[in-house]
Structure 1
Amino acid sequence: MAQSAVSAVLGNVGSLAVQETSFLCGVTLEVASLKDELIRLQGYLRDAESKRRSGIETVAILLSQIRDAAYEAENVIEAADYMKKRSMIKKGFMGAISRYARLPSDLNTLHKIGVEIQRIRRKLDEIFQSIERLNIDLDSHVLDDSVEDCGLMDQHCKDDVTMVGFEDEYKEIVDKLVEGENMLSAISIVAMGGAGKTTLARKVYTSSAVKQHFESLVWVTVSQKFKVIDLLKEILKQIPSDGDQSGKIDDMNENEVGKKIHDILIQKRYLLVLDDVWETDTWEKINRTIKAFPDAAKYSRVLLTTRKEDVANHVEMPTHIHALRSLDEEKSWLLFSSKALPSYKISGIRDLDKYEELGRKLTRKCDGLPLALAVLGGYLSKNLNTQAWSDVLLCWPSTKHTQMMRGLIARSYKDLPNHYLRSCLLYLAAFPEDYIISVSALINLWIAEGFIPHTPKHKLEETARKYVTELAQRSLVQVVRTSSIHGWIEEIRIHDILRDWCIEEATQDGFLDVIHESTSGQAGASSSHNQIFYRSSFQNLSGQILPASPNLRALFGFGLSSVSLPELRFIRVLHVENSSLEAADDETEKDPSPCRRRRIVLLVPVSFLAERMCDS
C-alpha cells in the first residue's frame, strides 16, 4: 500500500531530529527537499489507489514504485539523522578530537547520502511525470489521519462468542456430550465456511454444564496445514499435570507424546475439540504411532468441526453428525440488527421503520450465513443513512456464498476511516490460520511499523486500542478474550475467509508476502509485475535459509524448524514464534546446536539501522 508507506515514512521523518548544521554540509537541505516531495506525492495517492482498484495495470506499477521510493527515502533520511546525532554525542576537547579523527570517513558517508538522495529525487521526478501522463488528480483531502471516528468505547464491543440464532442447536449438542453411552464417541458439526461452526463449538466448550461434566477439556485448531507432533504437543500442554512440563514436552518425540497423553487421559473423563478439520484421515494420523485417546468407558467425547461431511463420517468411533442449519429469516434479522443497529445507537436513529424495512431485505440476501450478516451489519452500523443502505441493496452481487462474502469484505475494507486502519487489518494476514493474536503484542507491532498516527491528546497505545475496537465492531476480527479489569480487548482472531481475502489484497498491493511449505518456491515475487515485498511471513518451513528480500523491513516466523535468517540490512520488526533457528555460518563451529525459542520479538531502534547503513 503506497499510501501507507508514504504516510508511515512521513510520520517517522517528522520525529527525526534532522536540523541544519555546518557538519552536515548542506545534506539536511537535501533531506528537507526530499521530505517536501514526499508530502507532495502523498496528495495524489487517494486518486491513484482508486484507479488501481479499477484494474489499471500501469497505475498498479506506479504505486509499487511510489512505495519503493518512500522506503528508500526513509532509509537515507534516517542515515542523515544518525550522522547528525553521532556528531553531537561527544563534547569538549576529547569530543572534538574524536569528531575530527573520523571526519574523512564521515565526509565520505555524507557524500554517499547526498548521492543517494539525488538518485531518489530523480526517481520521484519520473514518478511525477507518470502521474501527469496517467491523469491522476491531486486530492487536497488525502491526509485522512483522523481517528475521532475509530470506534466507541470497548464496553459496546460484544464478544463474538455471543450467539444469535443457535440456542436450540447449542442445547442439543451439550445434551449429546453429557448424556448417552459411556463409550468414547464423537459429535461432528458440519457446515460451510462462515456458518458459525467455531462460534457454536466455543460456546458449548465454555458452558458450565460441559465444564462440570468433564475432568479435562482440550481445544486445538487443526486447519489445512498441521503437523501431527505439534498438534499432540499442544494437546498435552493443555492437559492438567503436576508442575510445568512445557520444556520437557518440547523435547519429546511423537511416540512419547502420544503415550503420555494416553497415560493421563485413561484416568479421566475428557472432551477433545478438534476445530476446523479438513482431511478425512486426521484422526488416524494423530493416533498412528500409539492410541493417544483411550476409550476407558468414562463417557469421554470428541467434538469436531469441519466443512466436509466425509471428514465427519470417517472418524473411527460412534459419531453423531450435526449439520448446522442456516439461520432462518427472523434469526438472521436478530443477528444483523444487533450489529447494524446496536442498542446504544437506537435512540438517536430517525425513521427506524425504514431501516428495518431495508435491513430485512438485506438479511434475506445473506442466505442465513452468520459471518455475512455480521460483516454487513458492522459495515452498515458505520453508515447510518437510508441512502447508503439502499445503495447496498441495489448493488447486491448476484453470486452466491464465497463471492458474496468477498464482496462484503471488500466493501467493509474500503469503508474503513483511513489508510492506517486498512494497513492494520491487512497486517493480520501475517499470522497463521486460526491463530489467537495477543492485542498488546499486535499494538507494539503496529506502532513499530508506523501504522498508528500521532494525534493530539492521545497516546499511540490508546489510538491503537481504538483501532482494535473499530475492527471488532465491524466484525472484521473476532474477540477471543477481554480484560475483566479494564474492559478492553486482549485477544482476537481473524476468520479464515477474511484472512484469505487479506492475504490476496496484501499480496496484490505488495504489502505482505505469506510463505509456507507449498509456496516457498515462489517467495518474494508478485505474479503481475515482480514487485518487491518489504514484509514477509514464513510459516512451517524447515531446513533452509529463509528466501527473504534483502530490503525486508518486517519478518514473521511461525513453526520454523532449523532455518537460518538471511542478512537483513533494513529490518525493523522481527517476530518469531515456536521456531528453532540455526546459528550463522561463521558461528556454526562454535555452537552447532540450533536456537530454540517459543517467541523472539525484536523492534529494532532506528539509530541501529542508520548506523549499519552509514558504516556499510
Structure 2
Amino acid sequence: MAESAISAVLGNVSTLALQETTLLCGASSEVEFLKHELNRLQGFLRDADNKQRRGDEGAAILVSQIKDAAYEADNVMEAAEYMRKRNRLKKGFMGAIARYGCLPSDLSTLHKVGVEIKSIRRNISEIFEYATRLKIVDDLGHTCIEKVDIDDELPQDYGPIHQNFEDIVMVGFENEYKEIVGKLVDTEKSLSAISIVAMGGAGKTTLARRVYTSPGVKRHFEAVCWVTVSQKFKGIDLLNDIMKQITGSTHRPEDQMQEHEVGKKIHDFLLQKRYLVVLDDVWETDTWEQLNRKVKAFPDATNGSRVLLTTRKEDVANHVPMPTNVHPLKKLDEEKSWELFSSKALPSYKRSAIRNVDEFEKLGKRLAKKCDGLPLALAVLGGYLSKNLNAQIWSDILSDWPSTKNGQMMRDILARSYKDLPNHYLRTCFLYLAAFPKDYEINVAYLIELWIAESFIPHTPNHTLEETAQRYVTELAQRSLVQVVDRSRAHGWIEGIRIQDILHDWCIEEARQDGFLDAMDKTDWPSWCIIIV
C-alpha cells in the first residue's frame, strides 16, 4: 500500500508538533499545517492506490506524486528536528537563548524550513486539484480518513498464543517428521541426502527446521549448519556462512580468503565430524556443484553425514550427486486443513464468546477447503478471520473467492490480511521486515529499537513506545504474518520471529512498488542487501 510512504513522515511531524513551539520560532505553525495536509492525503490515498493496481495511469501518477511530497516533507522535518536537538545541547546563556528564543544563526535555517514547507504544501494542494479534476478519487470531500493521531491504538485482542508457528504447521506432517528424522539418523554410513520437494506455502521449510532442531538430530550430529540458498546466490557467501556456523569463527574482511581456501577449511573441519548440512530453498540443479567447484568442501568420511535440502522443483530434488531420498510433501487433507484453520480462526480463548459458533464452523470448513491444503494459506487466512468474527464477512469472502491458481490465491490472501491491519503504522512495521535476509531469525528487542528509530511506532496513552511495539509483534504473530521462534519463559513475551519466504518475497515486492525500500542485486554487494528509501 502506498500509504506506508507517508507513515514515518506523519510520525516525525506529530513528534515535532508536540515540542515547545518557541523552539521553531514561528515555523511550528507551518509544521502543524503540513501535518494536517499529510493527514488529508492519508485519507484518500488507499482509493488512488487501488485504482493504480487496476491499471489506472492517472492514479499511478497521483500515487507517485504523493510519495515524492511525503519524502520531501520528511527531509524538512529531519532538518527542523536536528536544529531542535542541537539547541538543547547548548549550555549557559547562549543555550538559554537557543531553548527559549532564536539565535541569529538559526534564522536562515528557520527561514529555509518555512519556505520549503510552504512549497510542499503548494505541491500537496496541486495534488488535490489533480485528483479532483481527473476524478481519480471517488468522493474526495467525504473519504474516510484513517486515524493517525498519537492516540492511535490497536484493538484489545491479546489472547494467549499457546503454540509457535512451527507447532501449528506440524498439523498433518507428524508422520513425515518422524520418517525424515529416521532417515537422517539411520545406520547408513555413506554421505547421502534427503530432498523435501513441494510448492511454495506447503510447509517444507518449516518441516525441515523442525527436523533440524529436533533433540534426536542434535544429539546425532557433531556439526550442523543451515543456509538459505534462494534464486540468486553467491557460492562464497554460502561457504562463509557455513564456515562461521560450524567453526564458530569467521575470517576478517581484510583477510580476503578465496573461495577454495574457505572450502578447504570447511573440508578439514568436517573430515573428522559427523555433520548435517541443510540447504533451504534450492532453485538450481547445479547448486551442490557450485559449492564444491573449487574444492570438495563436504567430504564423505563414511560416518553417516547427511545433506537435507528443500526445493520447489522436482528436478532439483533428484539432481544431488549422491544417494538421495526424495520426499514429496503432500498437501493437507480436508480434516487436517480444518484442524489447522480452526486453531487460527477460532482459537479456544475466543470460542466461549461466540454465540453462533456452529455457523462460523460451517463457513470455516468451506473456506478451509478452498485453501487447497496449503498450511501457509490456512494459517494466514485463519489469522485474518480471527480478527473479523463476523459471519457476513466470512460469507462474503466465500462468495468472492477467486478461481485462480495457488500462487495468485496466496497473493490474494496475503494482500487481504495486510490491508486488514489496524493502522498504517503496523502496515509499515510489517513491510520493514523485508529489510532482513530471507529466513533470518529476527531478535524482537533489536527490531523494536529499529522501528522506534524509524518513527514507525506512535505515541499511545498509557503505553511506552516499547510496549506498543511489542503489541504490534503480537498482532502480527496472531495473524500468522510472522512465525514465533522464541519466547521468554518468564513472562511469555515474543523474543524471536521469522518471516516465511513467500511472505518475505511479497513484502519486498509490495515495499518496492510502494517506494518504501528496494533490493540491490550487485555482485559486489551481499546477496540480500536491502535499501530503505
Structures share fold, TM-score greater than 0.5: yes
Choose the corresponding residue for 1:494, options 495, 499, 502.
Answer: 499
Q: Are residue 193 (structure 1) and residue 200 (structure 2) matched?
A: yes
Choose the corresponding residue for 1:375, options 380, 391, 400.
Answer: 380
Choose the corresponding residue for 1:540, options 522, 527, 531.
Answer: 527
Do the aligned residues in 1 keep the contact of 2:7 with 2:428 (CA within 8 Å)?
Answer: no
Q: Distance in 2 between matches of 1:349 and 1:203?
A: 34
Structure showing the higher helix proportion among its residues: 2
In the other structure, the counterpart of 2:449 is 444
Q: Are residue 136 (structure 1) and residue 140 (structure 2) matched?
A: yes
| Aligned partner letter, 1:257 | V
In the other structure, the counterpart of 1:203 is 210
What's the CA shift for 1:93? Answer: 7.8
In the other structure, the counterpart of 2:58 is 58
What's the CA shift for 1:55? Answer: 4.2
Q: Are residue 79 (structure 1) and residue 79 (structure 2) matched?
A: yes
Task: From the superposition, tell whether residues 180 and 400 of structure 1 become closer, same or farther in structure 2 (CA, over 3 Å).
Answer: farther
Q: 3-state DSSP class of the match of 1:317? A: coil
Unaligned runs of 5+ in 1: 521-537, 542-554, 558-572, 575-616
Do the aligned residues in 1 keep the contact of 2:195 with 2:310 (CA within 8 Å)?
Answer: yes
Do the aligned residues in 2 keep the contact of 1:186 with 1:320 (CA within 8 Å)?
Answer: yes
In the other structure, the counterpart of 1:246 is 250
Q: Distance in 2 between matches of 1:81 and 1:472?
A: 34
Q: Are residue 127 (structure 1) and residue 132 (structure 2) matched?
A: no
Q: 3-state DSSP class of the match of 1:285? A: helix
Deviations 1:279-299 (A, max 9, x none): 111111112222222222212
Deviations 1:171-194 (A, max 9, x none): 111111122422111111111111
In the other structure, the counterpart of 2:242 is 235
What's the CA shift for 1:42? Answer: 3.9
In the other structure, the counterpart of 1:92 is 93
Do the aligned residues in 1 keep the contact of 2:198 with 2:329 (CA within 8 Å)?
Answer: yes
| Aligned partner letter, 2:527 | N
In the other structure, the counterpart of 1:484 is 489
Percent of counterpart pairs with the same letter? 64
| Aligned partner letter, 1:165 | G
| Aligned partner letter, 1:308 | K
In the other structure, the counterpart of 1:222 is 229
What's the CA shift for 1:141? Answer: 4.6
Q: Distance in 1 between matches of 2:388 and 2:281?
A: 33
Choose the corresponding residue for 1:321, options 318, 323, 326.
Answer: 326
| Aligned partner letter, 1:198 | T
What's the CA shift for 1:514? Answer: 2.0
Q: Are residue 116 (structure 1) and residue 116 (structure 2) matched?
A: yes
What's the CA shift for 1:47? Answer: 4.3
What's the CA shift for 1:34? Answer: 3.3
What's the CA shift for 1:381? Answer: 1.1
| Aligned partner letter, 2:222 | E
What's the CA shift for 1:151? Answer: 4.9
Q: 3-state DSSP class of the match of 2:132? A: helix
Q: 3-state DSSP class of the match of 2:265? A: helix
In the other structure, the counterpart of 2:154 is 148
Q: Distance in 1 between matches of 2:239 and 2:77?
A: 49
What's the CA shift for 1:406? Answer: 0.8
Do the aligned residues in 1 keep the contact of 2:344 with 2:383 (CA within 8 Å)?
Answer: yes
Task: From the superposition, tell whether residues 271 and 35 of structure 1 become closer, same or farther in structure 2 (CA, over 3 Å).
Answer: closer
Do the aligned residues in 1 keep the contact of 2:243 with 2:266 (CA within 8 Å)?
Answer: yes
What's the CA shift for 1:220? Answer: 1.7
Do the aligned residues in 2 keep the contact of 1:223 with 1:275 (CA within 8 Å)?
Answer: yes
| Aligned partner letter, 2:60 | A
Q: Are residue 33 (structure 1) and residue 33 (structure 2) matched?
A: yes
What's the CA shift for 1:85? Answer: 6.4
What's the CA shift for 1:539? Answer: 4.8
Do the aligned residues in 2 keep the contact of 1:154 with 1:469 (CA within 8 Å)?
Answer: no
Q: 3-state DSSP class of the match of 1:246? A: coil
Counterparts in 2 of 1:110-509, with a 5 A limit? 110-133=110-133, 134=135, 135-139=139-143, 141-143=145-147, 146-149=152-155, 151-152=157-158, 155-156=161-162, 158-162=164-168, 163-239=170-246, 241=247, 245-247=249-251, 251-509=256-514
Task: From the superposition, tell whether residues 151 and 276 of structure 1 become closer, same or farther in structure 2 (CA, over 3 Å).
Answer: farther
TM-score (norm 1): 0.77
Q: Distance in 2 between matches of 1:341 and 1:101?
A: 59
Q: Which sits farther off after the overlay, 425-434 or 312-321?
A: 425-434
Do the aligned residues in 2 keep the contact of 1:195 with 1:369 (CA within 8 Å)?
Answer: yes
Q: Distance in 1 between matches of 2:277 and 2:87?
A: 62
Q: 3-state DSSP class of the match of 1:321? A: strand
TM-score (norm 2): 0.88
Do the aligned residues in 1 keep the contact of 2:518 with 2:530 (CA within 8 Å)?
Answer: no
Deviations 1:510-533 (A, max 9, x none): 222222139x9xxxxxxxxxxxxx
Task: From the superposition, tell whether residues 141 and 31 of structure 1 become closer, same or farther in structure 2 (CA, over 3 Å).
Answer: closer
Q: Distance in 2 between matches of 1:118 and 1:448?
A: 27
Task: From the superposition, tell whether residues 181 and 144 of structure 1 become closer, same or farther in structure 2 (CA, over 3 Å).
Answer: same
Alignment: residue pair count: 522
What's the CA shift for 1:23? Answer: 8.9
Do the aligned residues in 2 keep the contact of 1:187 with 1:319 (CA within 8 Å)?
Answer: yes
Q: 3-state DSSP class of the match of 2:165? A: coil
| Aligned partner letter, 2:397 | V
In the other structure, the counterpart of 1:609 is none
Q: 3-state DSSP class of the match of 2:520? A: strand
Q: 3-state DSSP class of the match of 1:173? A: helix
In the other structure, the counterpart of 1:544 is none
Q: 3-state DSSP class of the match of 1:368? A: coil
Q: Distance in 1 between matches of 2:55 and 2:311?
A: 36
Q: 3-state DSSP class of the match of 1:320? A: strand
Deviations 1:490-509 (A, max 9, x none): 22222222222222222222
Could you say which structure has the greater relative contact order, defined with CA pairs below 8 angstroms and 6 or more residues apart?
A: 2
Q: Distance in 2 between matches of 1:189 and 1:87?
A: 60
